[in-house]
């Protein structure tokens, strides 16, 4: 007991400032302040303003008043809005599924020993590097009702009589814009998954081979489980990019024909800026937030490392 008393430093009366000065929590908060301020000004404020605008009847050039949920009530009764919700989901789900499957496939191919590996990987990245507007213009020509290279080739091969109506038919147009988005999005998925593949220790494969595992079994039991965390991150980003896509649609169809390719993002822009209905446009954009949040939550849980990956049993 006596020892303990001797060992303890004599309590000093510190001034408030000294206590703050010595406090690690305060120091930590100070360090975070610049980043926090940036997030607040450039992220939270615009987001908050967007949500607020969605609750007002603001139009271009006129400050609106608070109208509660009236914009949402109006949208609830708007067939074009619901069509855009449907289109957005269809676009996101189908394009993301294709991007995942083809991207994973491409990553597995690129992970093998190939001649000119570095060059091939660089080439694969091209669609991702080219600005979307430029690639969209290329697709605009590819899908042209009169000058399409695809239609031209198919006709020369004698496979079709009439040019394909790529963007003039609702379902064709949906398929066409999804295909263009998939083309553009594959490299991102492929390169990220490739990076993930290269972190998998070779010894695991060797052990599997010794156990007599087939190629499929090695993929199913080694590659895929170890790739899951990175798949979760990559696909979350991919879904977010696809869900909020704008440029491709804007260049290719402007949401036509008959609004069959209008996404929530393009409709929000059309209503808010050329149409001047800022409040309604903001409401459409805000309506996207819950879906985006769901994707982020999915990624958060996907990111949680499984216990077995840290050496514990997987239950």
Partner 1 sequence: MRKITRRDAFKLGAGAAALAASSGLAKPGQAQSLSFTPEKGAKLRVLRWKRFVQGDEDLWMANTRKFTEQTGVEVVTEHESWEDVRPKAAVAANIGSGPDIIVGWYDDPHQYPDKLVDLTDLAEYLGDKYGGWYPVAREYGTRQGRWISLPLGAAGNCIVYRKSWMNEAGFDSFPKDTDGLLRLCQALNKNGHPPGFALGNAVGDGNVWTHWLLWSFGGQMVDSNNQVVINSPETINALEYARELYETFIPGTVSWLDAHNNKAFLSGQIGLTANGISVYYAAKTQGSAFVDDIYHANMPVGPVGKPTELNLFTQAMLFSHSKYPNAAKEFLRFMWEKEQYEPWQQAAIGYITQPLKAYESNPVWTADPKHTPYRDTVANMLTNGHAGTLGYSSAAAMADFIVVNMVAEAAAGREAAKDAAARAEKRALRYYKV
C-beta closer to partner 1: residue 117 or 254: 254
User: Smallest distance, Å, CB 209 to partner 1?
Assistant: 53
Q: How many Cα atoms within 13 Å fall on the side-chain side of residue 43?
A: 6
Torsion of CA 234, 235, 238, 240, to 10 degrees: -110
For the bound state, the minimum distance from the C-beta of residue 257 to partner 1, rounded and expressed in Å, comes to: 4
Please answer whether residues 184 and 245 qualify as being in contact, where contact means their C-beta atoms are separated by less than 8 angstroms: no
- Tell me the closest approach of the beta carbon of residue 161 to partner 1, in angstroms: 11
> With respect to partner 1, which residue has the nearer C-beta, 99 or 271?
271
Determine the 3-state secondary structure of 62 from DSSP.
strand
State the minimum distance, in angstroms, from the CB of residue 62 to partner 1: 7
Alpha helices in 244-309 (DSSP H): 247-252, 264-272, 278-303
Task: Indicate the residue among 74 and 90 with the shorter CB distance to partner 1.
Answer: 74
Residue 64, SS3 per DSSP: coil
Q: Whose Cβ is closer to partner 1: residue 238's or residue 277's?
A: 277
CB of 144 to partner 1, least distance (A): 7
Kindly tell me which of 26 and 133 has the beta carbon lying closer to partner 1: 133
270: burial class by Cβ within 10 Å (0-12, 13-18, 19+)?
A: buried
Phi/psi at 258 (nearest 5 deg)? 50, 35
Residues in the site for partner 1, rule: CB under 8 A?
A: 59-62, 74, 78-80, 143-147, 162-163, 165-170, 173, 253-259, 270-271, 273-277
């Amino acid at each position: 007991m006596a020892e303990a008393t001797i060992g303890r430093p004599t309590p000093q009366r510190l001034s408030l400032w000294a206590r703050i000065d010595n406090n690690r929590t305060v120091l930590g908060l100070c360090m975070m302040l610049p980043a926090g301020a940036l997030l607040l000004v450039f992220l939270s404020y615009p987001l908050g303003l967007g949500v607020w605008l969605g609750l007002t009847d603001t139009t271009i050039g006129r400050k609106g008043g608070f109208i509660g949920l009236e914009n949402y009530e109006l949208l609830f009764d708007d067939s074009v809005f619901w069509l855009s919700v449907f289109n957005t989901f269809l676009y996101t789900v189908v394009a993301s599924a294709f991007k995942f499957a083809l991207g994973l496939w491409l990553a597995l191919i690129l992970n093998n020993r190939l001649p000119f590996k570095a060059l091939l990987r660089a080439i694969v990245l091209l669609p991702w590097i080219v600005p979307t507007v430029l690639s969209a213009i290329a697709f605009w020509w590819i899908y042209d009702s009169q000058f399409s290279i695809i239609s031209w080739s198919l006709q020369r091969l004698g496979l079709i009589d009439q040019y394909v109506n790529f963007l003039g038919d609702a379902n064709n147009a949906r398929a066409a814009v999804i295909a263009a988005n998939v083309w553009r999005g594959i490299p991102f998925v492929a390169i990220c998954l490739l990076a993930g593949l290269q972190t998998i220790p070779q010894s695991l494969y060797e052990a599997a081979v010794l156990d007599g595992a087939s190629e499929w079994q090695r993929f199913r039991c080694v590659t895929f489980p170890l790739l899951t965390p990175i798949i979760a991150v990559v696909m979350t980003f991919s879904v977010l990019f696809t869900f909020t896509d704008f440029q491709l649609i804007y260049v290719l169809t402007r949401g036509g024909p008959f609004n069959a390719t209008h996404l929530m993002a393009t409709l929000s822009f059309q209503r808010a800026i050329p149409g001047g209905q800022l409040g309604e446009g903001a409401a459409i954009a805000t309506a996207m937030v819950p879906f985006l949040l769901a994707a982020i939550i999915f990624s958060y849980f996907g990111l949680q490392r499984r216990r077995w990956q840290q050496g514990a049993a997987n239950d």
